[in-house]
Structures are given as structure tokens and as C-alpha cells.
């Protein structure tokens, strides 16, 4: 006996601006001031310039590990913009922009890339964890942080970011289930950039959307055009405020694309992506789309663009100088920062290094 399989998406899809910058869903248009709209554009342009410079710095050997972000600015900037400073972000390794715009100093992002311990020393007033390298682990952590907020009676929200590949991990399902069962104030953002390194999303899952995986956890799931910053902000704002007011967690799938390689560690996207696919997504570029929308409203000009580019270049240069000025790490220092109270074997190792000079 055969059974018909549900093939239609079981979650809504949200888009506010189409590829030409036209408003296609006025009901979903977020209530943002002109200055807030300009800020969104500023941050996206700044992030694109920062990313381009970081790629070049990595090729020059001046940075270490780096995962390019160009193409994903709308999903990153739009979602973070919907949070409050007291909300807590638990990122993946590509999510540097959200951390920086949440308050993490840019020079620390460069030091983190170099593996320097100063990069991981988070200022007291910045509510983030360091990027998670273990795929999907931040989803479980997010559920725990969110539950802590609930138990303390704090109106704060925990936000975790992962990619489409993260949804294939056991931690993803465990975290969603835990957050759903305990009605924790969490938002899980999946940036579906179509490829988990070289594996296309259609080979990872038979589900028609990643957002519909929320159904099994008993929580809302929604899919959004991740190249549309206004749509991302609208969906994220609704999810964050619902969580803050006791409405429980949400899973958001941002359908987006990374223009560069998975990381700068030898990945070659031309081996698994066609030029036709890349051209198709370049026509959906989030900066071009939003720029067109703002220009029609008289809120953005070529002069604004050029000033933002120059400010971004200056900020990156200054952050790089700060990173270069950081003292070189020592092995005893690395040992000292591992634990508040060193275990006996590390005490012995530290003494051995001291004797050797």
C-alpha cells in the first residue's frame, strides 16, 4: 500500500521587496523610521566592504580562519537589528556581522580570526558567545540560555544562528525540542545559503523547506526571503517580541546565498556551483534591492554610498591596527586562561614552561 506524501510547504513564505526593489507585501512592511532604514543600508554596505577586505587580508596571510559573508547581509543585519542589546546571540562561525553590530569590537573579530585569546575576551556589556565551530551545538546552548532567562523572569531572548547544514545535526532537533517543550524565549535562525560546504540542500533533506522542521518541535516555523532585509527584519521582530512576551520559540529559515567560498581554507565553489546559479543569485543581491527601494524614497544617494564605503575602510584599517598592536600570546598565558582554578596537571606544565624559559 502506498501513502501520499505531503510535498507542499507547510509554512508561510514572507517577502516584502522583490528583486527590483518593489514592495510586494505592504502588510508586512515594518514600521521603521527613515533613519532606521538608512541605518540598515549603512550596515549592509559597511559589512560588504569589511567582508571584501577580510577576504583579501586572509589571502595575504594577515588573518587566520575566515568565512565570507557577502550575499547574506540582509539575513544577518536585518535579524540582528530586530533584537535588543540585552538579548543574547549564540552564533556560528560565519556570523561575525551580527556579533559586531551587537557590540563586539571589530578588532576583536580580527584577533579571533588569528586565534588570539584577546578575541575571545567579551566585554561585560556585550551579550554574545563566541562563534561555535561544532556545527549545530549553539542550538542546544541557545535553548539552555533561553530557559535560564525564563526561570529568572527576565524579558530577554536568546537567538541562535546556523546554516542549512546545521539542520542535519542531532543538536538541531534536540535544541528545538527542548525549547519547544519548555516554552523557552528563543529564536532559531537558519541561514539557508543553499550549500553546506559543497552539499546542496536538496541532498541533505527530503523536506521542502527547512522551516517546516519546526512542526515536529511544536513551535512556529516561517520561511523568509533572506535577500530582503525588510522581510527578515519583519519576521525576526515578530518572533523576538513573541518570545519576549512568553509566546515561546520560533524557527526562521532565511533563504539566501553566499557569493564566496564556504571559508578561505581552500574551498572552491566552482567545483560544485554553476555560473548560471551564481548569476541567478547575484540578480537577487540584497544591497542592490534595498538601495533601489531607498533611492526611490529619496533616502539614499551615491554620496551616501561613497561616504559609507570610506568609513568602512577607515574602520577596518583602525581595527587592524588595534589587532596588530595586541601582545603576542605565550604558552603560559594560554594555560592561565583555560580555567579559573588550574588543575594539577596544568600547574605542572606551567612550571615546566617557566623552567625552560
Q: Per residue in 127-144, pLDDT tens?
A: 999 999 999 999 999 999
d(CA 164, CA 189): 10
pLDDT digits (tens, 9 = 90+) for 21-60: 999 999 999 999 999 999 999 999 999 999 999 999 999 9
d(CA 91, CA 114): 18
- CATH superfamily, with its number, for domain 13-326: Thiamin diphosphate (ThDP)-binding fold, Pyr/PP domains (3.40.50.970)
pLDDT digits (tens, 9 = 90+) for 244-259: 999 999 999 999 999 9
**Can you give the residue ranges of every domain in the chain?**
13-326, 330-357
pLDDT of residue 10: 75
The active-site residue out of 258, 273, 289, 291 is: 258
Residue 42 annotated as catalytic: no
Residue 116 annotated as catalytic: no
Span 190-212, average pLDDT: 95
The active-site residue out of 94, 244, 262, 273 is: 262
Residue 272 annotated as catalytic: yes
The active-site residue out of 62, 242, 272, 350 is: 272
Kindly report the average pLDDT of the chain as a whole number: 95
At residue 290, does pLDDT exceed 80? Answer: yes
One DSSP character per residue, 211-229 reads: GGGHHHHTS-EEEEETT-H
pLDDT of residue 2: 45
**Could you give the count of Cα atoms lying within 13 Å of 224 in the half-sphere of its Cβ?**
34
How far does Cα 226 stand from its chain's mean position?
12
Secondary element (H or E) of residue 42: helix 34-59
Span 210-231, average pLDDT: 97
At residue 338, does pLDDT exceed 90? Answer: no
pTM: 0.94
Amino acid at each position: 500500500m502506498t501513502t501520499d506524501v505531503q510535498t507542499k510547504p507547510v509554512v508561510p513564505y514572507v517577502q516584502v521587496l522583490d528583486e527590483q526593489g518593489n514592495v510586494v507585501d505592504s502588510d508586512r512592511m515594518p514600521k521603521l523610521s527613515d533613519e532606521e532604514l538608512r541605518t540598515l543600508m549603512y550596515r549592509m554596505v559597511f559589512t560588504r566592504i569589511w567582508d571584501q577586505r577580510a577576504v583579501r587580508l586572509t589571502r595575504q596571510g594577515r588573518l587566520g580562519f575566515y568565512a565570507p559573508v557577502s550575499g547574506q547581509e540582509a539575513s544577518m543585519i536585518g535579524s540582528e537589528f530586530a533584537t535588543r542589546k540585552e538579548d543574547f546571540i549564540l552564533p556560528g562561525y560565519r556570523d561575525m556581522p551580527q556579533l559586531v553590530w551587537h557590540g563586539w569590537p571589530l578588532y576583536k573579530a580580527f584577533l579571533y580570526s588569528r586565534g588570539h585569546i584577546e578575541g575571545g575576551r567579551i566585554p561585560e556589556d556585550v551579550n554574545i558567545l563566541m562563534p561555535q565551530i561544532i556545527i549545530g551545538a549553539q542550538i542546544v546552548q541557545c535553548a539552555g540560555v533561553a530557559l535560564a532567562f525564563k526561570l529568572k523572569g527576565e524579558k530577554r531572548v536568546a537567538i541562535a544562528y546556523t546554516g542549512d547544514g546545521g539542520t542535519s545535526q542531532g543538536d538541531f532537533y534536540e535544541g528545538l525540542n527542548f525549547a519547544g517543550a519548555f516554552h523557552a524565549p528563543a529564536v532559531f535562525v537558519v541561514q539557508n545559503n543553499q550549500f553546506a560546504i559543497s552539499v546542496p540542500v536538496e541532498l541533505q533533506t527530503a523536506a521542502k523547506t527547512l522551516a517546516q522542521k519546526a512542526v515536529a518541535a511544536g513551535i512556529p516555523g516561517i520561511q523568509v526571503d533572506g535577500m530582503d532585509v525588510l522581510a527578515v527584519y519583519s519576521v525576526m521582530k515578530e518572533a523576538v517580541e513573541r518570545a519576549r512576551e512568553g509566546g515561546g520559540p520560533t524557527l526562521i529559515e532565511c533563504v539566501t546565498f553566499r557569493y564566496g567560498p564556504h571559508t578561505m581554507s581552500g574551498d572552491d565553489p566552482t567545483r560544485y556551483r554553476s555560473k548560471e546559479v551564481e548569476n541567478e543569485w547575484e540578480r537577487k543581491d540584497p544591497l542592490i534591492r534595498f538601495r533601489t527601494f531607498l533611492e526611490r524614497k529619496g533616502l539614499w544617494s551615491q554620496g551616501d554610498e561613497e561616504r559609507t564605503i570610506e568609513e568602512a575602510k577607515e574602520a577596518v584599517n583602525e581595527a587592524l591596527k588595534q589587532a596588530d598592536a595586541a601582545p603576542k600570546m605565550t604558552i603560559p598565558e594560554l594555560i592561565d586562561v583555560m580555567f579559573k582554578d588550574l588543575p594539577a596537571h596544568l600547574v605542572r606544565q606551567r612550571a615546566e614552561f617557566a623552567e625552560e624559559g
